[in-house]
Homo-oligomer: A and B are copies of this chain.
Amino acid sequence: MKRSPKPAAPQKLDIRSVAARARVSIATVSRTINHIATVDAVLAARVWKAVEELNYFPNTQARALVSGRSRLLGLIVSEITNPFFPELIQEFENVAVERGYEILISSTNYDPKKTESCVRRMLERKVDGVAIMTFGIEELLLDRFAVSDIPSVFMDLGPKRPSSTTLTVDYKQGIDEGVRHLAKLGHRKIAFISGPLRLRSAQTRKAAFLESLHAHKLTANDAWMIEGDHTLDGGRDAMHRLLALKQWPTAIMCSNDMTAIGVQHVLFEAKLTVPQDFSLIGFDDVHLAEYTIPPLTTVRMSCKDLAQAAVASLLSHLASDDTPHARSSAIPTRLIVRQTTGAPRKKAAAK
């Protein structure tokens, strides 16, 4: 005799239930829901009907296990609290979800330990691809993806491997526009607050700045080359260091908008005004830049372009077995003039 009948057996609802209800084999169900063209229309209809009625959806884990594809895309960013990244993440998510992928986000916070953990976790979850959108990273780690044969995209750098693409940002263009703009306004003494210099992209931006300075026949002053860390607090600290100097610059370029906002704050506290006392230029053009007081002149780097290029690259790798890509896109940057830049005070401007 059977055990007492379980009260309304918690219906399992797997592919078998659907097969039974549609009176076909589980293989046919599998083919149907995977849109394999060779399924007879009549059977397919029955399957879809059963799927509908049962409210069935396939078990992702099982699918992943057998197919070896997780439909998971990793996204590693520097720090999620820098507004540039949420904007990028949003775009990335939109595109990925649209294509049926889920995204696994993780931030390194510029910490080697956390970075290592990020990479490991991505590997463990068997992401189908990974975008490393950090402003620099321990390069050794990158190769782990290539070795595991996981397609990857990087900003600025990355291993030269067939499975990895580099998205090159044209920092030069935007920064040069910024320097020219400043020079045209009459500035000769321009400071630069960089990101952490152990990060590649921070160096790249700094180099681009120095190069532009040179191109405009301006001389760099080492004392005005300050190392920041891409955060609000970092911008504040950097500006404090700048103000402690004997001789002040008349304009400041920052390697990101958060830094610039930190600078604005210090200037406000010191009762110095922008752009009268100092002209200020940021980098990234986060949405917020339009809302600072006064609104921030900044170099726009489109996170939309970046995110789309990243996902596109990853998906194209995943789509084809042959690998005719590994192109590297170039992301443009350009100056957006708002209200933090103006002519230097007469005293300083008079050469």
Are B70 and A80 neighbours in the complex by a CB distance under 8 Å? no
**B residues within 8 A CB of A291?**
232, 236, 261-262, 264-265
The smallest beta-carbon distance between A33 and chain B, in angstroms, is: 13
Task: Please tell me if A293 contacts chain B, counting CB pairs below 8 Å.
Answer: yes
Known contacts: A126-B60, A232-B291, A264-B293. The answer to whether A121 contacts B105 by CB under 8 A is: no
CA distance A105 to B104 in the complex (A): 8
**B residues within 8 A CB of A65?**
59, 61-62, 65
Stretch at the interface among A82-90, A170-178, A194-202: A82-90
CA distance A123 to B102 in the complex (A): 12
CA distance A264 to B104 in the complex (A): 36
The 8 Å CB contact of A97, one of B60, B103, B121, is: B121
> Taking the full assembly, how many copies of this chain does it contain?
2
Give chain A's interface secondary structure class.
Answer: helix
A70, A102, A106, A294: which has the most chain B beta carbons within 10 Å?
A: A102
The 8 Å CB contact of A107, one of B83, B90, B120, is: B90
The 8 Å CB contact of A288, one of B60, B61, B232, B290, is: B232
**B residues within 8 A CB of A70?**
61
A residues 62-84 touching B (CB-CB < 8 Å): 62, 64-65, 70, 79-81, 83
- Residues of A within 8 Å of B, CB-based: how many? 48
**B residues within 8 A CB of A125?**
60, 102
The 8 Å CB contact of A80, one of B90, B97, B265, is: B90
A residues 272-326 touching B (CB-CB < 8 Å): 287-288, 290-295
**B residues within 8 A CB of A126?**
59-61
Are B83 and A102 neighbours in the complex by a CB distance under 8 Å? no
CA distance A83 to B79 in the complex (A): 12
A71 (CB) vs chain B CBs: closest residue: B125
A90 (CB) vs chain B CBs: closest residue: B80
A residues 85-131 touching B (CB-CB < 8 Å): 85-87, 89-90, 93, 97, 102-107, 117, 120-121, 123-126
Are A117 and B97 neighbours in the complex by a CB distance under 8 Å? yes
**B residues within 8 A CB of A102?**
104, 121, 125
The smallest beta-carbon distance between A269 and chain B, in angstroms, is: 9
14 cross-chain CB contacts under 8 A: A57-B120, A59-B65, A61-B61, A81-B83, A85-B86, A102-B125, A232-B287, A232-B288, A236-B291, A262-B291, A265-B290, A265-B291, A265-B293, A292-B293
Nearest 8 CB-CB pairings of A with B: A61-B64, A61-B65, A293-B293, A80-B86, A265-B291, A268-B293, A81-B86, A86-B86
